[in-house]
Amino acid sequence: MELTQIVNQLQLDVLSGGSLNGEIRYGYISDILSDVMAKSPKSALWITNQTHENILALVYFKGLAGVILPEGQRLDESLLMKAQQKNIPVFSSKQSAFDLAGQLYGLGIRGRM
């Protein structure tokens, strides 16, 4: 499913966007960065409650499609500027991580291969 379709279906707030045209087949949910680094599939959409700078580095170096922050969480302004400079898609949702994961699954997005 196209990332733009997911953004529209889940009514995500786009905080920072790179290319939103990529095909998303996988998702991953974890707040443990080493877990995401070791187990998330490349080009996955990641749901996390973490809001510090390391999440941007992980998305960038792991080649993830973007990160969704649940429950209305936001990055601070300096981190948003870094995300924009590196074209890292960052989204926010008022929904819980659990609800977001369920909706992604309903859209055909699956976990690890």
Give the model's pLDDT for residue 4: 94
Q: What does the block give as tokens for 80?
A: 């948003």
Domains, the chain: 3-106 (3.40.1390.20)
pLDDT band at 23 (very low <50, low <70, confident <90, very high): very high
Residue 26 pLDDT more than 70?
yes
pLDDT per residue over 27-68, tens digit each?
A: 999 999 999 999 999 999 999 999 999 999 999 999 999 999
Q: What are phi and psi of 109, to 5 degrees?
A: -80, 130
pLDDT at 21: 83
